[in-house]
Structure 1
Amino acid sequence: MTKLTLLAIDTSTEACSVALLHQGEITHLDEVAQRTHTKRILPMIDQILGQSGLRLNQLDALVFGRGPGSFTGVRVGASVAQGLAFGVDLPVIAVSNLTAMAQAAYQQHQAEQVLCAIDARMNEVYFSALKAEKVRLEIGEFLQWQEIITEQVCSPQRLLEQANTLSGNWLTVGTGWQAYLSLNNVAKNSEITLPSAKYMLSVAVPMWFAKQTIAATEIEPVYLRNEVTWKKLPGRE
């Protein structure tokens, strides 16, 4: 594929994953580690680098899942990425968790039109509709994802309203469909429910060659939902 060496990490959902692109090969570790991301992510990084005999400063760039996802998970991923990249002065590639699942749909099912929805709790989903486009770069042909419906947080009903305006064959990915939309009739369901760092690497490669990198100091998590109103318990201020 390329002599590029990239490390990808993701903690934005209940999945915790690390993947390495090195000498054209991808290796990865994936766990469901809800509420233990902070304990697992660094040992997983050490393990996958150790297996390849690499040090952090030998990477070309660090890739991370920038959200959307759980507030805590997105913060953990952004903080770890920032700390690692800043420590050895690595450029960073921020990848959408929704786009990572679309990439998984392409690689597993050859799907080129994907409806992505992550359960956002409180009867809402993080949603986008993505369409694959092939682009030719200096090292060959790659896939890029175009937003047909922009990333947003919305109700399941609003998702279906927007999805019903689309034409063609679409595949669904993400926990949002299982949580709220299991009876949807707008697209074919897939078994892909969680993002993985493995597929973030495939998204990141063309971004690297398009110079779509940022510095560690520029890392910003993407929550989509900026304000959350919590019901106060009776008798509590």
Structure 2
Amino acid sequence: MTRILAVDTSTEACSAALYNDGGLFCEREVAPQGHTRLLLPMIDRLLKSQGLGLGDLDCIAAGRGPGSFTGVRIGVSMAQGLAFGAGKPLVGISDLEVLAFTAFNRTASGKAVAAIDARMGEVYIGVYERDSRGFPSLLGEEQVLSPEKALDYVRELINNEAPAIIGTGFGTYPVLGAALNGIRTDESLPWADSLVRLALRDWELSRARPPEEVLPVYIRDQVTWKKISEQEQERQSRKMKI
């Protein structure tokens, strides 16, 4: 019997999902400014609907970004707090991977390109291949690029294959999807019901970690999210060089 709670607030989508021994239950809402207000009541309703408490869970999962700076912080910090309080491990899942998984579930494509609008004339982008179980396998690295550079990057990885395309980046820059001859899905946001299924995979593969080891991922500014110990080591290293 496996029970996993997942939350995601990395974009304008706010959602929570509960996997309970084969059953999947989700609450979701598009609310760009409402994540803090909505998330805890969503979690509370989901747990109560199944007669569960946090202590009954095996682990907690969170969308770790990339996405909105504030949104990613809310989701990860909320999940960390719940995991710490309940003494449970945490799983962090890329929101680009969540999108790719959704695309694979809605198309027969062997590859998927997920793009989230990163503002400032750029997109967060990831290219994925469908593995033998139908899960996304990252090709290359997650990137933050201009649409023009993103197009060049993706073309190097898809080998002229028509990929499934998904995410707000394609809505903001429709020329990107058209140039890729991509198969558009009917979804553009990462939701916790897809995230919790990826978290179940990671739980089964023993990838859950102590809450303090799961950090937000901001591709544009990775330095912000280095561990305190790593930041201190860098400061000491700079002093020694001086």
Distance in structure 2 (CA, Å) of the matches to 1:57 and 1:143: 31
Secondary structure, counterpart of 1:31 in structure 2: strand
- Bigger strand share: 1
Distance in structure 2 (CA, Å) of the matches to 1:149 and 1:190: 22
- The runs of at least 4 consecutive aligned structure 1 residues that moved more than 6 Å come to none
Q: How big is the shift at 1:224?
A: 0.6
Query: What's 1:16 paired with?
Result: 14
8 Å contact from structure 2 (residues 106, 185) kept in 1: no
TM, length-normalised to structure 2: 0.86
Q: Pairwise CA RMSD of aligned residues?
A: 1.3
- Which residue of 103, 106, 115 corresponds with 1:105? 103
Secondary structure, counterpart of 2:131 in structure 1: strand
TM, length-normalised to structure 1: 0.88
- Bigger helix share: 2
Distance in structure 1 (CA, Å) of the matches to 2:91 and 2:72: 15
8 Å contact from structure 1 (residues 27, 48) kept in 2: yes
Query: What's 1:197 paired with?
Result: 192
For structure 1, which runs of at least 5 residues remain unmatched after alignment? Answer: 135-141, 228-237
Distance in structure 2 (CA, Å) of the matches to 1:14 and 1:28: 16
Q: How big is the shift at 1:143?
A: 3.6
Between 1:89-98 and 1:99-108, the stretch displaced more is: 99-108
8 Å contact from structure 1 (residues 8, 18) kept in 2: yes
Are residue 188 (structure 1) and residue 186 (structure 2) matched? no
Q: How big is the shift at 1:220?
A: 0.6
Q: How big is the shift at 1:169?
A: 2.6
Q: How big is the shift at 1:185?
A: 2.4
% same residue: 39
Q: How big is the shift at 1:73?
A: 0.1
Q: How big is the shift at 1:204?
A: 1.4
Secondary structure, counterpart of 2:219 in structure 1: coil
- Which residue of 147, 160, 164 corresponds with 2:151? 160
- Which residue of 201, 206, 219 corresponds with 1:206? 201
8 Å contact from structure 2 (residues 104, 164) kept in 1: no
- Which residue of 86, 91, 94 corresponds with 1:96? 94
